């Protein structure tokens, strides 16, 4: 996305707030009028009051200045109230858009980025983008109104001195253009280094146990110093550049005031100007130079915002799954789903690597089928295809005889429950993790607890006990049982167990076998497992090798006829 399109999107953030913006601009006009009048009152105090020793004029004029200043402050308060409301709503909308997109992007997006890196990128980008809503940006806009009053005031007092002020514009423009180009480069470097640090930081936290066991602290400390120094150096570069810009601007303004005093003193001596006129002129000159500096600084400020804005909007353009916004294209509704699944000549490639090649099999309704294969044989890919996290390269997948692409994605996923080896538990109670907002399933909840034997050894109150981040307060077996209970509560036609028995003991595994004959007897069940105790209880086994179906049959028969299958399953027997 180029800068022009990005800028259009940034401006578009204000579109829903037209009424508030119009009100703010109206207040700005009134504030500008007051500001334009004040220098003339200052001129009167000096020329008519102090120069003529007229106390009454001094006091009355000072009262007028005080009242006008108070009224202007009140207008500023009203402006700020509206601005804060606009800013808060825009920040909320930015976070909401990012969250909604991340909930819908294809799973491939998360393979190269960890959660900390994504969170840091979103937070940093929104923080930078939100600068367009802060007081400094509104100040720049308000200065545009002041510019008009300032120019009029300057020409009324002296057109000759006005020319000196206007000479400053092209000089300042060229200088700030150079600063903006440099700042854009530094901003891009900073957000890149900051993102790299966030990625490294989460990676280090996830591996803290290994760091201690292998005594890697010294090496990690060096990595930390290196990563942080890069971030700090980049940030310092931006901060120093900002200070240099301010210094140069002060130098230019100082030079301008010097020229005004030098030229103005000559005009006073020639009786062309009064002392009060010079002071009023200097005030009006700030009404011109400050807005011009502010307007020229818009490019400088945007140079720090645009890299984040481009990255943020590139996230919003990430490819998403087919979702309910396209539901008008889906004319198939499964009113009484049975849970059969069929692969017809399905192939799948990840990037350029072929993972599955012409896979064909059918799993009937209520059938219990296991998928077995070495690592990399394509087991997880098949499950991801069934759950529609991936799409086939060729071929089609049918659910109850219907191409799954013809079914609304949200409705389709309501047909499947999944129990994964790496199941994720939310940082809430055990009860909430099982029910997952299903408040009307009390009976299914109670039956699921009993079926998974969660109450067998645990005396904790499920409705009160918070499991921690990803269930870190629970054992692996407890987490697996909660995941199974979650699937039972949902009571969907198809249940997938993806290595879900890996953390269970023999007794718990036998309980799972019992579930296949009881609570799951009317469900289609797909199990990825190498445990013979599980494989003996399924109707069929699909054996995968190198992305192809090598054999299909009963566990006992495959163990007898297929040596490679026998070797894999024997390695996973309980001793």
Q: CATH second-level architecture of 3-316?
A: Up-down Bundle (1.20)
CA distance linking residue 85 with residue 21, whole number of Å: 11
Indicate the pLDDT class of residue 274, thresholds 50, 70 and 90.
low
pLDDT score recorded for residue 11: 86
pLDDT tens digit sequence for 404-455: 988 888 889 889 998 887 788 888 888 888 888 777 677 788 888 887 776 6
Q: How far is CA 9 from CA 6, 97, 253, in A?
A: 5, 13, 35
Read off φ and ψ for residue 347, nearest 5 degrees: -125, 150
CA distance linking residue 20 with residue 13, whole number of Å: 13
pLDDT score recorded for residue 199: 80
- Between residues 334 and 523, the one the model is more confident about: 523
HSE, CB side, 13 Å, CA atoms: give it for residue 368.
21
Structural contact between residues 50 and 57, judged by C-beta atoms closer than 8 angstroms: no
Please list the residues that pair with 497 across neighbouring strands.
419, 527
Burial-class residue 90 by CB neighbours within 10 Å (0-12, 13-18, 19+): buried
- Between residues 242 and 394, the one the model is more confident about: 394
Q: Which of 569, 570, 419 is nearest to 499 (CA)?
A: 419
pLDDT score recorded for residue 495: 93
Here the contacts of 171-176 (C-beta below 8 Å, separation 24 or greater) are 171/252, 172/249, 172/252, 172/292, 172/293, 172/296, 173/296, 175/248, 175/252, 176/245, 176/293, 176/296, 176/297, 176/299, 176/300
Beginning with the edge strand found earlier in the chain, give each strand of the sheet holding 524-528 in spatial order.
416-420, 494-498, 524-528, 368-373, 540-545, 548-553
Q: Pull the structure tokens for residue 397.
A: 């997948």
pLDDT score recorded for residue 328: 43
Residue 145 has pLDDT above 60, yes or no: yes
Residue 539 has pLDDT above 60, yes or no: yes
Structural contact between residues 129 and 10, judged by C-beta atoms closer than 8 angstroms: yes
CA distance linking residue 183 with residue 266, whole number of Å: 42
Which residues does 325 contact at the CB level (< 8 Å), separation at least 6? none
Read off φ and ψ for residue 78, nearest 5 degrees: -65, -40
pLDDT score recorded for residue 4: 82
What is the b/e burial string over 318-351, where b = at least 16 CB atoms within 10 angstroms of the residue's CB? eebbbeeeeeeebeeebeebbbbbbbbebbbbee
pLDDT score recorded for residue 146: 65
User: Percentage of the chain with pLDDT > 90?
Assistant: 20
Q: What is the largest CA-CA distance in the chain?
A: 118
Indicate the pLDDT class of residue 354, thresholds 50, 70 and 90.
very high
Structural contact between residues 186 and 255, judged by C-beta atoms closer than 8 angstroms: no
pLDDT tens digit sequence for 458-514: 556 767 788 888 788 888 778 888 888 888 888 889 999 987 666 566 666 777 788
Work out the end-to-end distance of the chain between its first and last CA atoms, rounded to an integer number of angstroms. 59
- Between residues 518 and 542, the one the model is more confident about: 542
Does the domain made of 329-570 have the CATH classification 3.40.50.300?
yes
| Residue ranges of domains in the chain | 3-316, 329-570
DSSP states along 221-287: HHHHHHHHHHHHHHHHHHHHHHHHHHHHHHHHHHHHHHHHHHHHHHHHHTTSS-HHHHHHHHHHHHH
CA distance linking residue 178 with residue 200, whole number of Å: 34
Structural contact between residues 176 and 298, judged by C-beta atoms closer than 8 angstroms: no
Q: Pull the structure tokens for residue 215.
A: 């005594």
CA distance linking residue 483 with residue 46, whole number of Å: 82
Structural contact between residues 532 and 546, judged by C-beta atoms closer than 8 angstroms: no
Structural contact between residues 290 and 140, judged by C-beta atoms closer than 8 angstroms: no
Which residues does 97 contact at the CB level (< 8 Å), separation at least 6? 316
pLDDT tens digit sequence for 115-125: 777 888 898 89
CA distance linking residue 164 with residue 257, whole number of Å: 10
Which of 7-16, 254-263, 277-286, 339-348 shows the lowest per-residue confidence on average (mean pLDDT)? 277-286
Q: Pull the structure tokens for residue 21.
A: 């913006």
Indicate the pLDDT class of residue 324, thresholds 50, 70 and 90.
very low
pLDDT score recorded for residue 150: 65
Indicate the pLDDT class of residue 553, thresholds 50, 70 and 90.
very high
pLDDT score recorded for residue 154: 64
For residues 247, 248, 251 and 252, what is the CA-based torsion angle, rounded to 10 degrees?
Answer: -140
pLDDT score recorded for residue 372: 93
CA distance linking residue 252 with residue 231, whole number of Å: 32
């Amino acid at each position: 996305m180029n800068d022009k399109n990005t800028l259009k999107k940034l401006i578009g953030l204000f579109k829903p707030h037209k009424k508030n913006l119009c009100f703010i601009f109206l207040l700005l006009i009134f504030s500008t009028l007051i500001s334009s009048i004040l220098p003339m009152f200052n001129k009167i105090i000096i020329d008519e009051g102090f120069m003529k020793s007229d106390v009454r004029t001094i006091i009355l004029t000072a009262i007028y200045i005080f009242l006008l200043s108070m009224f202007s402050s009140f207008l500023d308060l009203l402006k700020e109230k509206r601005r804060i409301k606009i800013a808060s709503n825009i920040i909320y909308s930015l976070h909401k858009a990012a969250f909604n997109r991340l909930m819908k992007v294809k799973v491939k997006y998360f393979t190269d980025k960890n959660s900390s890196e994504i969170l840091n990128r979103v937070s940093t980008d929104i923080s930078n983008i939100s600068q367009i809503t802060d007081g400094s940006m509104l100040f720049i806009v308000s200065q545009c109104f002041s510019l008009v009053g300032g120019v009029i005031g300057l020409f009324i007092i002296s057109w000759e001195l006005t020319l000196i002020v206007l000479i400053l514009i092209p000089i300042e423009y060229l200088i700030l253009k150079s600063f903006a180009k440099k700042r854009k480069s530094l901003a891009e470097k900073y957000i890149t280094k900051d993102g790299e640090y966030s990625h490294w930081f989460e990676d280090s936290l996830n591996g803290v146990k290994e760091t201690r066991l292998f005594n890697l602290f010294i090496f990690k400390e060096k990595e930390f110093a290196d990563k942080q120094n890069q971030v700090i150096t980049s940030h310092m570069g931006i901060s120093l550049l900002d200070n240099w810009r301010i210094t140069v601007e002060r130098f230019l303004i100082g030079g301008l005031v010097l020229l005004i005093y030098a030229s103005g003193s000559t005009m006073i001596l020639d009786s062309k100007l009064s002392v009060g006129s010079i002071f009023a002129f200097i005030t009006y000159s700030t009404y011109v130079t400050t807005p011009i500096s502010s307007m020229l600084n818009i490019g400088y400020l945007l140079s720090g915002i645009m890299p984040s804005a481009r990255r943020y909007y590139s996230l919003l353009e990430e490819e998403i799954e087919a979702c309910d916004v396209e539901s008008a294209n889906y004319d198939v509704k499964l009113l009484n789903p049975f849970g059969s699944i069929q692969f017809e000549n399905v192939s799948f490639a990840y990037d350029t690597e072929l993972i599955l090649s012409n896979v064909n099999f059918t799993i009937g309704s209520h059938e219990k089928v296991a998928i077995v294969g070495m690592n990399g044989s394509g087991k997880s890919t098949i499950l991801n295809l069934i759950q529609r996290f991936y799409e086939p390269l060729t071929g089609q997948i049918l659910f109850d005889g219907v191409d799954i692409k013809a079914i609304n994605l949200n409705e389709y996923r309501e047909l499947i429950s999944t129990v994964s080896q790496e199941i994720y538990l939310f940082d809430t109670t055990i009860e909430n993790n099982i029910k997952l907002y299903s408040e009307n399933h009390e009976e299914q909840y109670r039956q699921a607890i009993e079926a998974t034997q969660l109450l067998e050894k645990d005396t904790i109150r499920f409705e009160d006990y918070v499991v921690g981040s990803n269930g870190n307060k629970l054992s692996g077996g407890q987490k697996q049982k909660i995941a199974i209970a979650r699937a039972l509560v949902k009571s969907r036609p198809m249940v997938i167990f993806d290595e879900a028995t890996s953390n269970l003991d023999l007794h718990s595994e036998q309980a799972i076998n019992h579930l296949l004959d009881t609570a799951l007897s009317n469900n289609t069940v797909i199990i990825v497992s190498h445990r013979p105790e599980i494989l003996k209880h399924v109707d069929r086994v699909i054996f995968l090798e190198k992305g192809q179906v090598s054999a299909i049959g009963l566990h006992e028969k495959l163990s007898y006829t297929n040596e490679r299958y026998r070797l894999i399953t024997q390695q996973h027997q309980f001793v």
